[in-house]
Structure 1
Amino acid sequence: MAAHQLNLSLPAAPTAVTTARHRAVDAIAEWDVVLDDDVVHTAALVVSELVTNAVRHTATGQVSLHVRILESALRIEVCDSSPALPAHRDPDGHSESGRGLFLVAALAERCGAEPTPVGKRCWAEIAVPAAAPAPGIAVSLPL
């Protein structure tokens, strides 16, 4: 499967969440692979949650989104300039936030966060059932 990717730099503002989600879904739709609707919807939710966290917790004005398809997963990465890694906490029934990372962990095959030289990277991998080429795309099989 050919590697496809989206790399996007966004302002650390609430409007970045909608922009990131739409751009990711549009990019995935343009790739020459057919992904299950559940994978695309899950990707949209994961992008929204990770970008929202980055916007809320970044120390400077930019966040970046990277989406790429691997052989068996759709990998989503969001980077920001805050060195503080996300902490899992148990929100009580009255909390208005704190559930996003639980959603990401429940929806993704794997997820995590790691420091970078300029902040952190939060990532998630969504399992991709054997993706098929888009209709009209020729596939050559070895003889």
Structure 2
Amino acid sequence: MPRSVAQRFPRAFDAVPEARSFLGDVLKEWKVTDRSDDVVLCLAEVAANAVRHATRSGFVVEVSLDDCRLRVEVHDAGPGVPRPGQPSDDDTDGRGLLIVSSLADGWGVTPHNPCGKTVWTEFKTDQNTTPIGVIPC
């Protein structure tokens, strides 16, 4: 049976570690340990972008697990669609989505009209929600 949980965070930089902690607790509760470091790091990158670019309404983190796929979404009302940067060796930022694309099995952006977006990441995982007796992934 699929699982899903969500939590709202304010537009504040201390919300990023709070979101990381929230996700870490969810992964621990769901016994998803094989990719937890990658998942939490990707969330931190996407949440930091939401704090930097979202409106004052903050952002929502939604986590779902269905069979062998973990999906983490960050919803915000900010304008624009994030794209991976092309930082030079001297740049001190602009690498977040490059990190996400190297660690996640998939990621993307779903724009919302009239404003806002969902940035999502997906991870294949050993954990599944298949009932006992059914062949797992």
TM exceeding 0.5: yes
1:136 maps to none
Cα deviation code 1:86-134 (max 9, x no counterpart) = 12221011111110100101111110012113401101001113x268x
Is 2:11–2:54's contact at 8 Å kept on the other side of the alignment?
Answer: yes
Change (3 A) 1:43 1:106: same
- Shift in Å at residue 46 of structure 1? 1.1
Aligned to 2:20: 21
1:141 corresponds to 2:127: no
How far is 1:36 from its partner? 3.4
Structure-1 residue corresponding to 2:53: 57
Residue number in structure 2 paired with 1:30: 29
Segments of structure 2 that go 5 or more residues without pairing to the other structure are none
How far apart, in 2, do the equivalents of 1:14 and 1:68 lie?
24
Q: Give the TM-score normalised by the residue count of structure 1.
A: 0.84
Q: What is the alpha-carbon distance in structure 2 between the residues aligned to residue 72 and residue 140 of structure 1? A: 14
Is the CA contact (8 Å cut-off) linking 1:83 and 1:115 kept in structure 2? no
How far did residue 140 of structure 1 move? 4.1
Report what 1:120 is aligned to: 117
Q: Distance in 1 between matches of 2:100 and 2:68?
A: 18
Distance 1:59 1:141 in 2: 47
Which sections of structure 1, spanning at least 5 residues, go unmatched?
134-138
Report what 2:86 is aligned to: 90
Post-superposition CA distance 1:47-100 (Å, at most 9, x none): 111100100011223111001112221101001111200122210111111101
* Ranges of 4+ aligned residues in structure 1 off by more than 3 Å: none
Specify the code of the residue in structure 1 equivalent to 2:124: A
Q: Percentage identity across aligned positions?
A: 30
Aligned length: 132
Cα distance in 2 for residues equivalent to 1:13 and 1:124: 22
Based on CA coordinates, which of the two structures has the bigger radius of gyration?
A: 1
SS at match of 1:126: strand
**CA–CA distance in structure 1, aligned partners of residues 14 and 122 of structure 2:** 24
Question: In the alignment, residue 108 of structure 1 is paired with which amino acid?
Answer: A
Q: In the alignment, what sits opposite 2:74?
A: 78
Q: Which amino acid aligns with 1:56?
A: R
**Contact 1:18/1:48 (8 A) holds in 2:** yes
